[in-house]
């Protein structure tokens, strides 16, 4: 492991805005985010596979009456987001180092009001379908943890993942689906909020179309 990574892992252990194994809140945060971390009653948006957490740190100053939690397994990436949140004194941002597969160990039913999936790994092989973050088993998990009417957003450059998601959604009880295969030339651009993740910057530079969709789970 590189020195830089080790240094970041060490710094993460000292950061109050990163919840990770070994820290007291990590074990007890389920159902208690508002009470024990944010100390307010505002709704919680979760950024899954957050990487550096551009959505969480980008949204936090725009929406001071909402809370944001970036979730990723990679501590060295969230280190960057946590640093930005610290520097900007963003009290409505937290990072959770965990695998999304166990999201229900960290959030209680109805605790999440909105989910963003910015540029999830496309997992293109057929035998990887179940690992795509919009496969039925993940959607079932999200549905369980979200408030009724909570919105899920997906952004990706990958048309195969996008088409797969639209197919999966045909079999799900959802409503208010809207989508575009070219976000930057779409009226759905109003959902862009001026936020570009690291991956998005790269794909936009390469001239690739950004695909975007959102929907709500139906009761």
Ligand X SMILES: C[S@@+](CC[C@H](N)C(=O)[O-])C[C@H]1O[C@@H](n2cnc3c(N)ncnc32)[C@H](O)[C@@H]1O
The catalytic residue positions are 121
Out of 4, 175, 198, 218, the only residue in the binding site for ligand X (CB under 6 A) is 198
Q: Is 70 in the site for ligand X (CB under 6 A)?
A: no
Among positions 77, 143, 211, 214, the unique one binding ligand X when judged by CB under 6 A: 77
Long-range contacts of 82-89 (CB under 8 A, 24+ apart): 82/12, 82/15, 82/17, 82/18, 82/53, 84/53, 84/57, 85/17, 85/53, 85/56, 85/57, 85/60, 86/15, 86/17, 88/57, 88/60, 88/61
Is there binding between residue 74 and ligand X (CB under 6 A)? Answer: yes
Among 17, 33, 44, 49, binds ligand X (CB under 6 A): 49
Among 18, 19, 44, 50, binds ligand X (CB under 6 A): 50
Stretch of residues binding ligand X (CB under 6 A), selected from 32-40, 49-57, 105-113, 178-186:
49-57
Rounded to an integer, what distance in angstroms lies between the CA atom of residue 188 and that of residue 117?
A: 16
By CB under 6 A, tell whether 101 contacts ligand X: yes
Burial of 55 (0-12, 13-18, 19+ CB in 10 A): buried
CA-wise closest residue to 72 among 29, 137, 120, 113: 120
Given 99, 128, 140, 160, the residue binding ligand X (CB under 6 A)? 99
**Least distance in angstroms from the C-beta of 219 to ligand X:** 27
Shortest distance in whole angstroms from residue 179 CB to ligand X: 18
Residue 119 binds ligand X, judged by CB under 6 A: yes
Rule CB under 6 A: is residue 199 a binding residue for ligand X?
Answer: yes
Residue with tokens 């139906």: 218
Selection from 84, 90, 42, 89 nearest residue 67 by Cα? 42
Q: How many residues bind ligand X (CB under 6 A)?
A: 18
- The torsion of the CA quartet 91, 44, 191, 73, rounded to 10 degrees, works out to 80
58 forms part of the interface with ligand X (CB under 6 A):
no
Residue 6 tokens read as 């080790």
Residue 40 binds ligand X (CB under 6 A): no
What is the SS3 assignment for 205?
Answer: helix
Interface residue with ligand X, options 13, 73, 130, 218 (CB under 6 A):
73
Residues 121 to 150 in contact with ligand X, rule: CB under 6 A = 121
Residues found near ligand X in the complex (CB under 6 A): 49-51, 72-74, 77, 99-101, 118-121, 197-200
């Amino acid at each position: 492991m590189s020195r830089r990574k080790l240094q970041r892992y060490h710094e993460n252990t000292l950061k109050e805005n990163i919840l990770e194994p070994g820290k007291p809140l990590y074990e007890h945060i389920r159902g208690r985010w508002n009470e024990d971390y944010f100390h307010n009653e505002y709704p919680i948006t979760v950024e899954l596979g957050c990487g550096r957490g551009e959505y969480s740190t980008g949204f936090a100053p725009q929406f001071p009456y909402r809370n944001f939690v970036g979730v990723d397994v990679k501590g060295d990436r969230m280190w960057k987001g946590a640093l930005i949140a610290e520097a900007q004194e963003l009290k409505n941002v937290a990072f959770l180092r965990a695998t999304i597969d166990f999201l229900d160990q960290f959030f209680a039913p109805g605790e999440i009001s909105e989910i963003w999936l910015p540029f999830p790994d496309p997992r293109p092989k057929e035998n990887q379908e179940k690992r795509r973050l919009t496969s039925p088993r993940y959607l079932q998990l999200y549905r369980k943890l979200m408030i009724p009417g909570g919105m899920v957003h997906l952004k990706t450059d990958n048309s195969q993942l996008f088409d797969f998601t639209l197919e999966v959604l045909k079999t799900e009880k959802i409503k208010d689906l809207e989508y575009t295969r070219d976000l930057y030339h779409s009226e759905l651009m109003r959902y862009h909020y001026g936020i570009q993740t690291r991956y998005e910057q790269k794909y936009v530079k390469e001239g690739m179309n950004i695909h975007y969709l959102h929907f709500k789970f139906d009761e």
